[in-house]
Chains A and B, each alone.
Chain A
Amino acid sequence: MRPNRALEIGTGLFVLLGFAALFFLTTQLPGSGIKVGGPAGYAVSARFDNVGDLKPGSPVTLAGVRIGRVAGIAFDPTDFKAVVTLEIENQYNQIPDDSDASIQTAGLLGGKYVGIGPGGSETHLHAGSTIEFTQSAIVLESLVNKFFANFASGRESNKAPQESEAGTP
C-alpha cells in the first residue's frame, strides 16, 4: 500500500476530533470547570448556614433578573458556615450594600439559585464586600418535618376543644 497523503490527513483529523470529543466528555461534563462566556463581573461573598445543593455556575438573580453566577462555594471551619462567592456582572454596580441574599429553588424540582433582595442603603456593593443578611436554603425534608410537627401539635391542641365541645351538650 502506497502512502496516501489526503487519506492520512483525513484520518488524522477524524481521530483528533474524536479524541477531542472524548476528552471534552470525560473532563468537562462531570465536575466543574467550564465557563460559558458571559461578561466580566465583580466578586461578592455571602455566608450561609446551609447552601443545600447550590452549585458553582448557578444563577444569581435580583427581582427575577439574572445578574450574575455563583463563582465558588467554600467552607469556613471556624464558624461552620458556607462561604459563597457570587460573581455579579459589572453593569449591576448599584446594588445597596444592605441587601440580603437567599438561596431559593426554581420550581419544585428545579435547581437552586441565589436571590438578592435589595435593601435601602445609599452605599453600594463592590468587589470584595460581604452580604450580611442571608437566608439559607430551605431543605425540603426539614420543611416537611416542621410541617408535620406543627400539624401534630395543632391536632393535639385542636383535639381538646373538640372533645370539650363534644362533651358540653
Chain B
Amino acid sequence: MPLRRRPKPLERRRQPDRVTEAQRPIAPSAQAGDAVVEVAGLRYAVGRREIFTDLDFVARRGRVTAVMGPSGTGKTTLLRLITGQVAPSAGEVRMWGANVATLGQRDLFALRRRIGMLFQNGALLTDLDVFENIAFPVREHTNLTEPLLRELVLTKLHAVGLRGAARMMPAELSGGMARRVALARAVVMDPELLIYDEPFVGLDPISMGVIVRLIRQMNRVLGITSIVVSHDVHELGAIADESYLLSEGRCVASGSPDELRASDSEIVRQFLDGVADGPVPFHYPAPDYREQLFGVDDPRGRG
C-alpha cells in the first residue's frame, strides 16, 4: 500500500500548473466591478426581421446580472451573440475587452474556456454518464491523472448534491437533476463567468429553490460573475444585483431589483405584475377581426 500511495503528492504538485496554464486569461484580469461583458449599440437581424435594434448591456465582475423579458424578445439570441456563436449585424460585443465577433476560432475557444454555460435543457451528452459528462471538459483540455480527475468531478457533484448519481445516464435523470449536473459541468473548469439560459424553466418549486440557492452560492462563495437570462421575476429578484428588461429589441429598463420594482414605467409594471394586455399587446398583430371573419381577407391567401 505505501508503495502505491507514494507518487500521488508528486503529481498533485505538478498537475495544477497545467490547468492554470490552460486557463491563463488573454487579457489582464479586471478589478471587481469592471465590465466583463460589454454590449454597445448592438443590432441583429435575421433576414428582414430585426431582433435587436439598439441594445446596450453591461455585466460587471462579481455581480449577478439578470436579463428579463417576455418570451420571444431574443434573450437566448443575446447569449448567442455574447458568446460569439453568431455575429451581430452592427455594434459590438466585448468580453474582457476583446471584440468577440473579430476573434478567430483559437482565440474564441481560449475565451470560452473562461466561461461556463448552463443550457435551458442541460444539453448533457447523452452517450456519456453523469460522471463522464462532468469529466468531459477536463478530459478535453487537460491531462489530469485519473485519481485527480475523480476527486475533482466528485467534488463538483457533491456541491450540487448528486454525488450518488455519478453513474446514472442523462436519460435517467429528472429535469431538475439534469440541470444540476449541467451546472456541475459548467463550473468544473473553474470559469470566471457563468451564463445561465432560462435556469428556472420547467422546474418544480423544490428544484427551483435548489437551483436558486446554487446560483447564489456560485456567485457569493466562488465569486463567479453571472449572467442569468430568465422571465421568472420573483426568482431573479432574489439573486440579481442588476436587471435589464428587454422588449422589442431594446432595453426598456435597467437597475437593481428594487429600482425596477419602484418603477412606474408601463412596460415594467406590465411585466412585473403579469398583466395580460398593455404595451406588450395580448393580440399578435392581425388584420381587423370583423373583416377577417366575414371573408374580406382570407388568411389562407385566396378566398
B-binding residues in A (CB < 8 A): 1-2
Interfacial residues of chain B within 105-162, with CB under 8 A of chain A in the complex: 128, 132, 139
Closest partner residue, chain A, to B127 (CB atom): A1
Give Cα A2 to B132, complex, Å.
8
Closest partner residue, chain A, to B135 (CB atom): A2
Chain A nearest Cβ from B184, distance in angstroms: 18
Closest partner residue, chain A, to B136 (CB atom): A1
Q: How many B residues, CB 8 Å from partner?
A: 3
Closest partner residue, chain A, to B139 (CB atom): A1
Give Cα A2 to B128, complex, Å.
9
Closest partner residue, chain A, to B146 (CB atom): A2
Give Cα A1 to B139, complex, Å.
9
Taking CB atoms, residues of chain B closer than 8 Å to A2 are: 132
Taking CB atoms, residues of chain B closer than 8 Å to A1 are: 128, 132, 139
Chain A nearest Cβ from B160, distance in angstroms: 22
Pairs across A and B, CB under 8 Å, 4 listed: A1-B128, A1-B132, A1-B139, A2-B132
Chain B nearest Cβ from A128, distance in angstroms: 68
Chain A nearest Cβ from B129, distance in angstroms: 9
Give Cα A1 to B128, complex, Å.
8
Chain A nearest Cβ from B105, distance in angstroms: 23
Give Cα A1 to B132, complex, Å.
7
Taking CB atoms, residues of chain A closer than 8 Å to B128 are: 1
Give Cα A128 to B243, complex, Å.
104
Taking CB atoms, residues of chain A closer than 8 Å to B132 are: 1-2
Chain B nearest Cβ from A8, distance in angstroms: 16
Interfacial residues of chain B within 67-91, with CB under 8 A of chain A in the complex: none
Closest 4 CB pairs of A and B: A2-B132, A1-B132, A1-B128, A1-B139
Give Cα A102 to B139, complex, Å.
75
Give Cα A2 to B139, complex, Å.
11
Give Cα A169 to B128, complex, Å.
109
Closest partner residue, chain B, to A2 (CB atom): B132
Taking CB atoms, residues of chain A closer than 8 Å to B139 are: 1
Chain A nearest Cβ from B136, distance in angstroms: 9
Give Cα A2 to B127, complex, Å.
12
Chain A nearest Cβ from B130, distance in angstroms: 13
Chain A nearest Cβ from B205, distance in angstroms: 36
